[in-house]
Structure 1
Amino acid sequence: MSDYNIDELIKTVFDIRDANWKPTDKIPLINKEIEQLKSDLKTYLNNSDYDVTGILKESKELCEESKRLTEDMRTCQQEIEEETMAEIVKSIENHDALVKELECINFAINIVFDVVQCGKYVKEFDDGRDAQSFTRAVEAVSDLIEFIENPADGFQHLGLYHNTKHAAQLILDSLLNDLSTEWSRLAHWSSKMCTKKTVVTIVLNLDDSMAVIDILSALNKSKKLQEKINLFSEFLMKEVLVPIMLFDCTVYAETDVLMTLTINHAKQNCKPPYDAVIANLRLLFHYLSNKLNIEFCRGNTLMAMIGKQISAEFKETLIKEVLIDTIPNNINELQTYGRITAEIEDFQHFLALVKIFPEDKFSILDYIDDIDILFASKSSQYHLETARNIMLKDLSVTMSIGVETIPEDDELSISNLMDDGAEEALKILDKTIPKSLFFFPRCMISKTAQELLDLVYVMMEQAVQCSDLVCKRLYYTTRLVFELYDAVVPYHHEKYLQTIPHYVALFHNNCMYLAHNLQTFGDKWLILMEGREVDYAISFVDLVQKLRDLGYKHMTAHMQQQRKQILDNIRSSDLNCIVVKDVLGENAEAAIRQCLRQLHLLRNVWIGVFPNNVFTRLMATLVNMFVDELIHRVCTVEDISAEMAQQLSDMYTLVMYKAPHLFQDAGDVQKHVKTWVKLQELIFVLGGSLKDIESHWGEGQGPLARHFRTDELRNLIKALFQNTQLRANLLAKIK
């Protein structure tokens, strides 16, 4: 039957455009349509493949059968509720009783099982003991203790449990004690310290016999072997390996089982050479390998266990204390360093062979990866130590250096080889830079100063041949040498620099000489590095003034000390109390003579040591101070007797006679001592008359007017001459 379109029916029956329809009008139409539909349905059912009548009949039968089954189920439910449930409740009660009975049986079975198992372990222990097998005995007792630690419920309440546990622990302790005794028999060592040496003895009775392997396996099973190996490894590292690396040692295999190590303490801080260390280590490890390469458990050996324990520390110590020292401190030896690395590599293969090193894990040649850094550090350390040793040497061992006179400029033939611009530039340079910059005056210096300078030149020559990293490090080390000079020399030679003029003079010259060379040292360095790019400034000019100031500082301090001695001599004599005396005592002349002797000693010490101009300047400074103090003693006195004036004149005349001999040229005293003429005029005033003084005053134009202040001269006249009209007239003229 085709689909029925209800929408079309509604549109046919009910016209939506007709608003005045009545239900009575539509009922016939609807009835007609219903009848038509019934006819269509009947026709459809008749033509259908399904037996509708049969289906309805079958459905009725199924419905009736369902009702019967429902009644049967209700009947069955009633029977279950009344009879079966009672039986089920009774069965549950029986089940609970059976479960409780089963639990009791299991509880008893578990306890019996634990008892039987303990008996089994005890029997295994007895069998192992009868077979004299430590391994079987230890295994049995260990298993018993392990088993008894987790007993079945109730077993721990039995007396058997406590007795078995206590007995098992006692047996294990006894076994461990026996094993410890056996181990001590197999391996023992000692160290005996004497006055000049220490003797270390190692005795190893180990071999691959069944008895030894049984002992090792038993120790391993009881977890005590690692403790024994740890103790031996610690002893081996601290008492044997480290001393071999640090001290002069003799390793000797007395027998197959006895090895002795003799550590000599006669030479302190004297490490043995690397090849001697390697030779001793080879002997030691060869002996240990022969005795300890015993396989006792799944490929494991005592040597491998020791290697695992000490390999990291041994490698680190070997590199730090031995192999690092093999790195050379100069470029020539560094270029042949491959021979040493080959020996070290061969030694590493030996260590892997004897199982001290895992073959694929450790390498004692790792330090070569940083060879430049290590070489730079080693070279720097060596040169600093060398420089410091030079600085500690005696300063009084001298040598002469410098030129007598600075050469005059000459045009040289080089001007013919240059163009006009270059020649003009050289002329300007010659006029701008003083010639003394390139020449050092003739003087004496300590040989140590020249040794130090030679050392830094060697450092420079090595640095420019090395990689940039090493070159930079050596450059800074070279600068550090001069920083070290500032710190070490004044401190180490402090006593001499404070008391001995010769030392002070040499130290001053040393500082000046080093500073002079540092002015051009940086340029020489750069010339040798031509063509290489550097990322740091190479210059030593900043150290020049620092070294000069160091020399000035000690020279000035010593000059102050000499000045103080001269002033103390004068001020401790009657020259310090002229105003209260009519006649000077003998100590006044003695003080002057003492000052002259002091200056004469300085002259003998300094002449030829200092450059001529420096000697003259220093001596003139002291003489000028001495003379100025003598003049001041007189010019500040209010009254001088005629006898004292004569004494002063005689003593000051002595100074006039002696002082010129303090200089290389007698004429230098007048050129460089500012108060010299003033002293001459003072002597003249002390022995002259008022008329003579007036003539020397010369209406303010004479020598007295040039060298004396007005107040000084007036005070001197008042002190020397009585108050007369002639004196008053002269004083009136001196204004």
Structure 2
Amino acid sequence: MAPTAVSPHSFTRSVLAHLSSDTTQLPYSPSHPSQTTTAASLDSSLNAPPATSDDLVQTVATIDTEIQAIKAQVYKKLLANYGAFSEAFEYTLEIKDKIDDLLEQADSMASRTTDPENGLRQTVMSALVEHHEISHRVQENNRIMEGLEHFSRVGDILSQYEAFMDSGKILEAGHCIQQAAKTLAHPPNAGVASSHITRSLTDQCARMTEAIDQMLDDLIANAIHYQHPTDDNNTQFKLTISYDIKVPPLALPRSSMNSAPGSIRWHALIRALTLLDVAREKLRPLQKFLIRHVLQPLIEHHNDAVILIDNSTNYASATGTSLSLEQDPGHGSGDLFRDVLSVFEFIHRNIFLNDYSSPEFNAEEFSSDTEILTHFLGRNIAKEACAMISKSYLSQAVPSDINGLQDFASIALAATHLEDELIALGFLTEADRELREFVENIDIHYTNNKRDTLLKQGRAVIMSEDFKTIQVKDLDKDDDLEKESDGWGRIADTDTDVKESCISLKAKQLVDMILSTLHEAGSLSENASPHLYNATCSLIDLYRALMPVHHARTLTNVPALAILFYNDCMYIARELEKVPARLEDGIPGMDEVQYDDSIPALKTLAKKWLDIQVQKQREELMESIDGAGEFRDCSVDNNFDACERSMKQVVLVFKHLGKAWKSTLSPMTFYKVLGQLLNEVSKRVIKELEELNDISEKESHKLATLCGLLFECEDQFDSAGPLVEAAKGDAYDDEDPIYFFVPTWQKFQLLADILELSFAEIMTRFRAGQLHMFEEGELSDLICAIFADTPLRKHNLEEIEQGHPVALSHHAH
């Protein structure tokens, strides 16, 4: 674009035109005097009075003059700077022309780029699409090439497999299958992985693997022969291994021909099993046979089993080897550990071929096949054998007495030697030392065996129906912890001591077992000794649990045996209380041996069964009293006879219990139990007699006679005086001992007297304070029942209602 020419005159005219149209916007200049004057005039005019029209005209004229002056001044300024301004204006016009030219070029380029047919954008997009298509075809071709190479490698491997199978090289064929399967498992791309060719080859590899697997099974079946016992020979079990193994013909999956039969050596088969990592699976039947039919019968019946081993085998020249186990009662070697070791030496040498080496077998730079088989297969056999030795031999050899522990030392030495040899052969590791752990803890096993024996013997004693008895004082004669005691009732603890009672032999046998076991514990280690103490606790628990259940019917129905069981529990508790004194230094691992839980439990059990028996006898006595018909109408002969039979039955029961229990219970327990029962009887009789409303004179004598029958029970307490004196101490006043054990007996005696006394005699005793056992109401009811209503009765009743004489009553008490 050509620049536009502007003359100085035209620019001047343009500026003047602009100034003439915009003069009111000129800035204020204080240097101009007329401008200042005008401003002052304007300011003063704002405060002046209203102007006239002449004033306004004059003002407008003044303003116009001032404006013209300003315009002239501006024009002068512009003229003074015209040269610089003109140059700047010309440069601006040139810049404008260049920008316009660039815009035209940009418009032209945009038109050429965006053209839908021939534009640059369309050309580039077409080129990119074409490049993408070419790249996709190249990648697809690369994937196809990778797939072809992948399938070619698999095909080559499978061809090698067929060649190896044709020549009977089972190991190499197995490697081919493994390599083919590994190659197929890692395809170069997803397309190859999903290809039907891959699926077909995978299926073919699976069939070939099955073929290899079947051939291995056939080779093992041809190599290993198991013979079980028959009626024709005395061989129990026999294992034969052929070193030259015939290879069976095999139909090849990709060929119509069969593989040529041949033979391989045992070591080649072992190597194939090992390198194909199927040895543990394929040789598991051999492992089971050796454990179940060789080692197990050898260990369990070592005195009758004879091992025959082919030890002269030289693998390089031999065709096979064998091992047999014969049953010959009484003619076994007797050396179990030597026989077991010979079996493992046979396995190590003749089966795992430890002595055979070749460049391919048992190479020094790798873990040998023998080491692999010994560790992974032989270790299971050895661990099973050691477990069976521990369970079936060592546990049976644990001694039953403390002296036998010394004899066990030779067995322990032989067991650890066997384990050392198995570790040296590689069958076991240091972490597998089960035999050494067993023998090192023989004291623990001894205590466990002792515990089982103790509980077994204790159970037999507990369940025995033999209840023979023995006097405790006879047992205490040889006991330094027991002081001698002379005479019935002279005992230290009258409530719980059983010195003057008898116990069953069961209790003595159990105590002897406990004490002997604790004495044995004193010679054991700190780890084992507490086990024997716990065994004695278990024996006591067994006694408490089994005795009341197994003998429940006997203890319930036979009072003497129930009381004997009470004595047994108390006796065992007493002997347990003396254990700390017997074992002042304790036992290893326990500074003090105590039975803080067992002793209270035994005493509680004893009291429970004593209470059960007392309650049973009480019910029987109450049932006998029921036959008296509440003692009503005793003046009638039939009623009196019934009451008499009832009272005689009560006396008979008491005499029977006294005879049965006196020789069994300790004196204090005997009198307390018998007194408790007699107290219940007397309370019942007193209650029923006091409830009679009208008692005739004849009936009163009859009732007194019936009460007198019970007096025969008093002789059961004739020998209790020393016990009462010992129990009451200084408070003892030479009183009848029956009053101590039967609190209501004195009241019962007084009731019998009241039934026979006259009214005057009754009042005399009342005034003397001798009837203090009766409440005022009780005594009044008795008098009303016995005596007719008269002024004298009324007077005496009033006296009775005033209460017993205080001083006399206290004296009587």
The aligned runs of 1:123-522 (5 Å cut-off) are: 124-147=160-183, 166-187=203-224, 204-209=239-244, 210-230=264-284, 233=287, 285=344, 292-294=351-353, 297-298=361-362, 299-301=368-370, 302-311=373-382, 315=386, 319=390, 323=394, 326-328=397-399, 330-349=401-420, 351-352=422-423, 356-358=427-429, 362=433, 364-370=435-441, 379=450, 382-383=453-454, 386-387=457-458, 389-394=460-465, 396-402=467-473, 441-472=499-530, 474-475=532-533, 478=536, 482=540, 485-522=543-580
Q: Distance in 1 between matches of 2:754 and 2:525?
A: 77
Alignment correspondent of 1:682: 751
| Shift in alpha-carbon separation, 1:639–1:435, aligned structure 2, 3 A | closer
Residues 426-484 of structure 1 deviation map (CA, whole Å, 9 limit, x = unaligned): xxxxxxx9598998533210112112222232233223333444445545655665555
Q: CA deviation at 1:557?
A: 3.0
Alignment correspondent of 1:65: none
Local SS of the residue matching 1:364: helix
1:561 to 606, 613, 616: 616
Greater alpha carbon shift after TM alignment, 627-636 vs 234-243: 234-243
| More helix, by proportion | 1
Q: Distance in 1 between matches of 2:782 and 2:498?
A: 47
Residues 389-433 of structure 1 deviation map (CA, whole Å, 9 limit, x = unaligned): 544444723212216999xxxxx9xxxxxxxxxxxxxxxxxxxx9
Greater alpha carbon shift after TM alignment, 369-378 vs 175-184: 369-378
Are the counterparts in 2 of residues 582 and 644 from structure 1 also a CA contact under 8 Å?
no
Q: Distance in 2 between matches of 1:475 and 1:395?
A: 27
Greater alpha carbon shift after TM alignment, 292-301 vs 614-623: 292-301
Q: Distance in 2 between matches of 1:395 and 1:177?
A: 70
Q: Say whether 1:717 aligns with 2:717.
A: no
Are the counterparts in 2 of residues 583 and 641 from structure 1 also a CA contact under 8 Å?
no
Q: RMSD between aligned alpha carbons?
A: 5.2
Q: Say whether 1:620 aligns with 2:675.
A: yes
Are the counterparts in 1 of residues 238 and 322 from structure 2 also a CA contact under 8 Å?
yes
1:560 alignment partner AA: Q
Are the counterparts in 1 of residues 467 and 506 from structure 2 also a CA contact under 8 Å?
no
Alignment correspondent of 2:648: 593
Are the counterparts in 1 of residues 530 and 590 from structure 2 also a CA contact under 8 Å?
no
1:179 alignment partner AA: L
| Shift in alpha-carbon separation, 1:201–1:118, aligned structure 2, 3 A | farther
Q: Distance in 1 between matches of 2:300 and 2:649?
A: 60
| Shift in alpha-carbon separation, 1:704–1:435, aligned structure 2, 3 A | closer
| Shift in alpha-carbon separation, 1:313–1:677, aligned structure 2, 3 A | same
1:574 to 619, 626, 629: 629
Are the counterparts in 2 of residues 398 and 446 from structure 1 also a CA contact under 8 Å?
yes
Are the counterparts in 1 of residues 631 and 689 from structure 2 also a CA contact under 8 Å?
no
Mind listing any 5+ residue stretches in structure 2 that lack a counterpart?
Answer: 1-135, 230-234, 245-263, 310-320, 328-333, 363-367, 478-482, 484-490, 721-735, 802-813
2:280 alignment partner AA: Q
Residues 488-532 of structure 1 deviation map (CA, whole Å, 9 limit, x = unaligned): 544544444433312221122123323333443212211688xx9
Local SS of the residue matching 1:505: helix
Residues 130-162 of structure 1 deviation map (CA, whole Å, 9 limit, x = unaligned): 433433443444444445555788998999877
Are the counterparts in 1 of residues 228 and 238 from structure 2 also a CA contact under 8 Å?
no
Are the counterparts in 2 of residues 444 and 610 from structure 1 also a CA contact under 8 Å?
yes
Local SS of the residue matching 1:337: helix
Alignment correspondent of 1:694: 760
2:584 to 521, 526, 542: 526
2:688 to 600, 622, 633: 633
| Shift in alpha-carbon separation, 1:251–1:457, aligned structure 2, 3 A | same
Residues 537-565 of structure 1 deviation map (CA, whole Å, 9 limit, x = unaligned): 44557865554444233212321232233
1:654 to 706, 709, 732: 709
Alignment correspondent of 1:43: none
| Shift in alpha-carbon separation, 1:590–1:181, aligned structure 2, 3 A | farther
2:575 alignment partner AA: N
Are the counterparts in 1 of residues 634 and 703 from structure 2 also a CA contact under 8 Å?
no
Alignment correspondent of 1:610: 665
Alignment correspondent of 2:805: none
Return the TM-score normalized by structure 2: 0.59
Q: CA deviation at 1:608?
A: 1.2
Q: CA deviation at 1:574?
A: 1.1
Q: Distance in 1 between matches of 2:147 and 2:475?
A: 115
Q: Distance in 2 between matches of 1:559 and 1:679?
A: 21
Local SS of the residue matching 2:639: coil
Residues 270-309 of structure 1 deviation map (CA, whole Å, 9 limit, x = unaligned): xxxxx89768856865775676334694332455542234
Identical-residue share of aligned pairs (%): 19
Greater alpha carbon shift after TM alignment, 636-645 vs 229-238: 229-238
| Shift in alpha-carbon separation, 1:281–1:305, aligned structure 2, 3 A | same
1:517 alignment partner AA: E
Are the counterparts in 2 of residues 583 and 644 from structure 1 also a CA contact under 8 Å?
no
Are the counterparts in 1 of residues 271 and 369 from structure 2 also a CA contact under 8 Å?
no
| Structure whose CA Rg is larger | 2
Q: CA deviation at 1:326?
A: 4.5
Q: Distance in 1 between matches of 2:217 and 2:324?
A: 22
| Shift in alpha-carbon separation, 1:169–1:680, aligned structure 2, 3 A | closer
Are the counterparts in 1 of residues 496 and 570 from structure 2 also a CA contact under 8 Å?
no
Local SS of the residue matching 1:442: coil
| Shift in alpha-carbon separation, 1:654–1:157, aligned structure 2, 3 A | closer
Local SS of the residue matching 2:435: coil
Q: Distance in 2 between matches of 1:476 and 1:610?
A: 31
Are the counterparts in 1 of residues 237 and 293 from structure 2 also a CA contact under 8 Å?
no
1:610 alignment partner AA: L
1:171 alignment partner AA: M
Q: CA deviation at 1:626?
A: 1.4
| Shift in alpha-carbon separation, 1:434–1:679, aligned structure 2, 3 A | closer
Q: Distance in 2 between matches of 1:254 and 1:371?
A: 33
Local SS of the residue matching 1:526: coil
The aligned runs of 1:26-175 (5 Å cut-off) are: 121-122=157-158, 124-147=160-183, 166-175=203-212
Greater alpha carbon shift after TM alignment, 576-585 vs 368-377: 576-585
| Shift in alpha-carbon separation, 1:678–1:457, aligned structure 2, 3 A | same
